[in-house]
Amino acid sequence: MTVGFIGLGNMGQGMVDNLLEKEADLTVFTRTRSKIEAMIDRGAKGASSVADLAQNVDVVLVCLPDVQTSRDLLLGEDGVIANARPGQVVVDHSTVDIATSRACAGAAEAKGVHFLDAPISGGPGGAAGGTLAIMVGGAEDAFETAYEYLGKMGANVRLMGPSGAGTAMKLINQLLVGINTVAAAEAFALANSAGVDITAAADLLAVSWGNSVMAARSAPITAARDFSNSSAPVRNLDKDLGIIRDLALDEGLSLELTLKSYEMFHYMIEQGNTEHDIAGVLEVIEERSGK
């Protein structure tokens, strides 16, 4: 089989690198021609457009930065699904809302095309290392077809249920990322105020109930106050928590910690810190504490 990949951003580039290193018959497309040419130099094929890629591979993988870009590229008049063939598998690794994933699944089904929503977690490091968690929604037979490629990019690849289940699982994950990052920042703000070394605190937390992945991740970044120009910028989490906020409103869910976390990250955006690391929410806590 052949596979195509659209989107060579912070996550997509690492994913494509793994596909190529693990000998996938790979075609790539992105808006930046130099990125395509760099992949051609390494042995991939280059497509001239979305349509060109979709028409010439068996499995199409897509990883895009926001909901609107995903809708335009997947559902547009000359997008992936419009150019897909019956029996083809289209996989969206982007973090979008559940309605978008279900709309893509419906449009694909009308053409006899299989669609999987398969968002990812693990950050650029996980993408580069091929250790991503990939949470998938869709039909089991389509999942089994795509697994040949998903397994080259992820160490934990799970079929979570029907269409939309993968996206729902990613939003659950992002809810916890947001809340736990704020909780860690509050803990480290308290540590700073009480004169407790953050690195020492992190070492103790690692063997205590209060530990979390986000506390362990945030500790060295916070200790060094290395918040600028991050590979995990606040703009991404702000987008994801915004999707969850809208879903909570639609579903009538009281997600108070999520909404407060979203407000704090969105404040960072309003302050112009879109590329700051998510651990930089500590600065919001300090500002509001008069520190």
Phi (first) and psi of residue 221, to 5 degrees: -65, -40
Beta strand 120-121 with 132-137 is: antiparallel
Phi (first) and psi of residue 76, to 5 degrees: -65, 165
The structure tokens 């909901």 sit at 67
Active site residues: 170
Q: How many whole angstroms separate alpha carbon 67 and alpha carbon 246? A: 13
**Residue 146, token pair as written in the block:** 């795509």
Contacts of 90 (CB under 8 A, 6+ apart): 59, 60, 62, 74, 80, 81, 84, 104, 108, 113, 114, 115, 116
> In angstroms, how far is CA 152 from the centroid of its own chain?
17
Q: Where are the alpha helices (DSSP H) in the chain?
A: 12-21, 33-41, 50-54, 67-75, 98-110, 123-129, 140-153, 165-194, 198-205, 213-224, 234-251, 256-270, 281-288
Bridge partners of 28?
5, 46
DSSP structural state of residue 233? B
